[in-house]
């Protein structure tokens, strides 16, 4: 008689060619946050084809979906997170050179892998439960808009994750293994400086460009002095068309990041206050709109150890010689002359903090969340054309396939041995002790769900 875990491995192995096919299909249709209509439909349709009942537009977010399949009876409910949005400006062919103008979206964060790898894990796990006669439910949540740290906060506020016993996910990074350490808390928002248009030669007393530049410079100085290690980043969304015309309006999209949520939130409030004060000194009107504010990941060793065990069963990514050759070529293109480094083993990561922030932070404070990373070469920067290039190349597939199989096994294992779920919940409560976690904070619900094109054009 085969064990449920063997069933999971067999089901996953049978599905693997479909997962690989989905990697390529998603790569070919990169879509920005809240515009992922085709990507959502591709994955939702795939789940339906495998017998899941699928609700599109769940939580009133048009590009979200919820796919469930239970094996009868009442058992644990395991959530698996799926992402599929791309990044602006990072389109690239799967080649070891910049092939694009940088004006179109591309999968520079590898979400074309996360979608199929994690959804595929759900398909395999559900099949194995049925085969093994284990009572439980697999709930795959299609989560849009991760790249603006927004989607899961909106879905969490709408109650989409309620009732799940654990949530599992994966992401590409620079290491292979199970992650049980925090990442950064982060918030971002859009800021408008509205003055008066003018011929630049004559000038205007109400100059939105001068006000925005002064505001950013002033906050950069303050951020360093007032907040230890607060990271501050910005881009100009709109700042005029011609040096001869001072524009009416300038829009800035800015974010802050810190290991501590309260410090991060205080940093964001200070940023908005400074922008407002400088605008006022320039006699320029000011408006700030929060996009999202998210906690860092609350680590969970109970789930982390289960995920680590499942990774041991699967083994480290099985790269071929030609996979390594392409990654070496890409590394050279990004960092000429630097030695090639790639994490090729499996490890457990429970020390330190990850550099990034992401939108499942708040969720990890509500439901135990287990996370797997797979490695890309150290010289290939994430959110860079080269990450897109790798994400479209077969050399990228071994890592997400490893994560996918391990998540499939982990989901079945958690349902077969539900005492892990009780322990994971107890650990969450213990780690959270004393922390009051208010509902997720995010904005622009109407814009992002009804007219997302205007969000990306900065015309809303």
Binding site for Zn ion (CB under 5 A): 109
Select 109 or 215, whichever has its Cβ closest to Zn ion.
109
Give dist(CA 271, CA 277) in Å, integer.
10
Q: Minimum CB separation from Zn ion for residue 173, in Å?
A: 9
Nearer to Zn ion, 109 or 140 (CB): 109
- Please provide the size of the chain in residues: 460
Closer residue to Zn ion, CB minimum distance, 29 or 423: 29
Q: Which is nearer to Zn ion, 107 or 305 (CB)?
A: 107
* Nearest-approach distance from CB 334 to Zn ion, in angstroms: 18
For the packed helices 111-132 and 4-27, what is the interaxial angle rounded to 10 degrees? 150
Q: Determine the distance from the C-alpha atom of residue 445 to the mean position of all C-alpha atoms in its chain, rounded to a whole number.
A: 18
Gap between the Cα atoms of 261 and 42, Å rounded: 36
Q: Nearer Cβ to Zn ion, position 69 or 113?
A: 113
Minimum distance, C-beta of residue 27 to Zn ion, in the bound complex (Å): 14
* 165 versus 173: smaller Cβ distance to Zn ion: 173
Burial of 231 (0-12, 13-18, 19+ CB in 10 A): middle
Backbone angles phi and psi of 146, in degrees to 5: -70, -35
Do 184 and 358 meet the contact criterion of CB atoms below 8 Å apart? no
For 101, phi and psi rounded to 5 degrees? -80, -10
Q: In whole angstroms, how close is the CB of 323 to Zn ion at the nearest point?
A: 21
Smallest separation (angstroms) from Zn ion to the CB of 400: 12
Where do we find the tokens 């054009």? 457
CB of 111 to Zn ion, least distance (A): 6
Is the CB of 61 or the CB of 416 nearer to Zn ion?
61
Least CB distance from residue 356 to Zn ion, whole Å?
8
Beta-carbon count within 10 A of 44 CB: 24
> Smallest distance, Å, CB 159 to Zn ion?
24
Sheet with 249-258, side-by-side order of all strands: 231-238, 249-258, 185-194, 285-294, 441-442
Distance of CA 347 to CAs 172, 309, 311, 410, Å?
A: 15, 11, 9, 17
Q: 282: which 2 tokens?
A: 């320039």
Alpha-carbon span 334 to 316, nearest angstrom: 25
Give 128 or 167: the residue with its C-beta nearer to Zn ion: 167
Residues whose CB is less than 8 angstroms from the CB of residue 187 and which lie 6 or more positions away in sequence, other chains included: 149, 255, 256, 264, 265, 268, 290, 292, 293, 294, 441
CB of 387 to Zn ion, least distance (A): 10
User: Which of residues 169 and 246 has its CB atom nearest to Zn ion in the complex?
Assistant: 169
**What's the start-to-end Cα distance of the chain, in Å?**
60
Burial bucket for residue 261 (CB in 10 Å: 0-12, 13-18, 19+): buried
What the block records as the tokens of 302 is 């109970």
Q: 8 vs 109, which CB is nearer to Zn ion?
A: 109
Q: How near is the Cβ of 332 to Zn ion at its closest, in Å? A: 25
In whole angstroms, what is the distance from residue 375 CA to residue 347 CA? 11
């Amino acid at each position: 008689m085969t064990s449920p875990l063997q069933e999971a491995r067999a089901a996953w192995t049978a599905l693997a060619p479909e997962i690989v096919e989905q990697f390529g299909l998603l790569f070919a249709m990169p879509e920005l946050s809240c515009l992922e209509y085709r990507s959502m439909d591709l994955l939702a349709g795939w789940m339906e084809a495998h017998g899941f009942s699928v609700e599109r537009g769940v939580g009133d977010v048009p590009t979200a979906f919820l796919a469930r399949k239970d094996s009868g009876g009442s058992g644990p409910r395991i959530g698996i997170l799926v992402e599929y949005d791309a990044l602006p400006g990072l389109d690239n062919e799967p080649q070891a050179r910049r092939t694009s103008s940088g004006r179109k979206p591309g999968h520079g964060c590898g979400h074309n892998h996360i979608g199929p790898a994690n959804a595929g894990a759900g398909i395999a796990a559900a099949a194995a439960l049925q085969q093994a006669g284990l009572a439980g439910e697999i709930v795959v949540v299609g989560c849009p808009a991760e790249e603006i740290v927004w989607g899961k906060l909106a879905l969490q506020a709408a109650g989409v994750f309620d009732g799940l016993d654990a949530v599992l996910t994966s992401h590409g990074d620079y290491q292979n293994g199970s992650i049980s350490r925090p990442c950064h808390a982060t918030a971002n928002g859009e800021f408008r400086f509205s003055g008066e248009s003018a011929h630049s030669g004559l000038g205007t007393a109400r100059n939105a460009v001068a006000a925005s530049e002064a505001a950013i410079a002033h906050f950069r100085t303050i951020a360093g002095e007032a907040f230890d290690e607060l990271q501050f980043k910005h881009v100009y969304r709109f700042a005029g068309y011609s040096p001869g015309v001072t524009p009416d309006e300038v829009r800035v999209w800015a974010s802050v990041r810190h290991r501590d949520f309260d410090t991060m939130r205080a940093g964001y409030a200070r940023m908005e206050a400074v922008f407002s004060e400088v605008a006022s000194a320039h006699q320029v009107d000011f408006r700030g709109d929060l996009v999202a504010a998210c906690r860092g990941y609350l680590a969970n060793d109970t789930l982390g150890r289960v995920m680590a065990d499942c990774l041991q069963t699967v083994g480290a990514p099985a790269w071929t010689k030609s996979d390594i050759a392409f990654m070496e070529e890409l590394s050279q293109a990004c960092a000429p002359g630097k030695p090639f480094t790639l994490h090729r083993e499996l490890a457990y990561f429970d020390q330190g903090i990850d550099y990034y922030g992401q939108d499942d932070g708040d969720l990890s404070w509500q439901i135990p969340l287990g996370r797997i990373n797979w490695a890309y070469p150290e010289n290939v920067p994430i959110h860079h054309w080269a990450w897109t290039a790798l994400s479209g190349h077969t050399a990228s597939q071994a890592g997400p396939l490893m994560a996918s199989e391990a998540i499939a096994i982990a989901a079945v294992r958690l349902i077969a041995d539900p005492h892990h779920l009780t322990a994971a919940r107890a650990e969450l409560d213990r780690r959270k002790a004393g922390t009051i976690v208010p509902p997720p904070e995010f904005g622009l619900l109407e814009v992002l769900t009804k007219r997302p094109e205007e969000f990306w054009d900065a015309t809303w």
